[in-house]
Amino acid sequence: MDTELRDLLFSVKNGDTSVDEALLKLKKQPYIDIGFAKIDMHRKLRTGQAEMIYGAGKTAEQISGILTAMKENGQDRVIITRLSEDKADEVAKEHEIRYVKNASIAVMGDMPEPDGTGKIVIATGGTSDIPVAEEAAITAEMLGNEVVRLYDVGVAGLHRMLDHLDELMTATVIIAIAGMEGALASVIGGVAECPVIAVPTSVGYGASFGGVSALLSMLNSCASGVSVVNIDNGFGAGFLANRINHIKGAK
């Protein structure tokens, strides 16, 4: 930043850039304002990487508008999370998207080639956690990662997890997704040697309190190397896993 600033100032001094141009550059907004939203355009993305839209609080019209603005700015690979089927149908009338129903996710553009350090393993405690897992998986894939899915390997049947020890031992990063008591994160954290991202899900009943029980369990994990994202936040886990799997310069 220093360098850019210094260059700009020199260029002003030299007369190469007028004061007003410099002012403009310094103030230039790295986002597009389309009225109801300000779309960030400032991230230096790896080529072909997908941009995200959080679909939950937006109308189909708003989402379509954002997609249009993105395309006009050269972004043709987009993930839309938390999108209901109804809205997806509506958006699909104007944009070419693929909708993955059980993950409530839509994607525009095709899947990029994986270019990460290694593999992201996504494990779930039960079948009911699969929607959250798919949100994480598709997010990670659209950002250029190879994903290995290990579903329904919860600790009530420990052998089901132990059966996949080698996948777990060779992962670059693991996403452990579980509801109820969320013990999966601790058990995986106990055997894994890579970063583990724990995702509590709202699966459960009674004193599971919509995922709070699993959340607390994961935060208190006796295994080191485990961190936690918000309840049901598959997207967040997939996004973070991508960052870890794309760290530059690792030996």
Residue recorded with tokens 């929607």: 131
Residue pair 200/228 in contact (Cβ under 8 Å)? The answer is yes
What contacts 151, CB < 8 A, 6 or more positions away?
Answer: 123, 124, 127, 129, 130, 133
Asked if 154 interacts with a copy of itself (CB under 8 A), we say yes
Query: Interface with a copy of itself by CB under 8 A: which range of 69-77, 90-98, 105-113, 157-165?
Result: 157-165
List binders of a copy of itself among 63-92 (CB under 8 A): none
Q: Which two three-digit tokens encode residue 191?
A: 């055997």
Give the helix/strand (H/E) hosting 71: helix 60-72
Closest by CA to 233, choosing from 202, 204, 208, 205, is: 202
3-state secondary structure of 216: helix
Q: Using the rule CB under 8 A, is 130 a contact of a copy of itself?
A: yes
Q: Name the segment binding a copy of itself (CB under 8 A); options: 41-49, 68-76, 86-94, 103-111.
A: 41-49
Site string for a copy of itself, 7-36 (x = CB under 8 A): --xx-xx-x---x--xx--xx-xxx----x
Stretch that binds a copy of itself, among 72-80, 88-96, 104-112, 174-182 (CB under 8 A): 174-182
- Our finding on whether 205 is near a copy of itself (CB under 8 A) is yes
Shortest spacing between CB 69 and a copy of itself, in angstroms? 13
* Residue 191 sits in the site that holds a copy of itself (CB under 8 A): yes
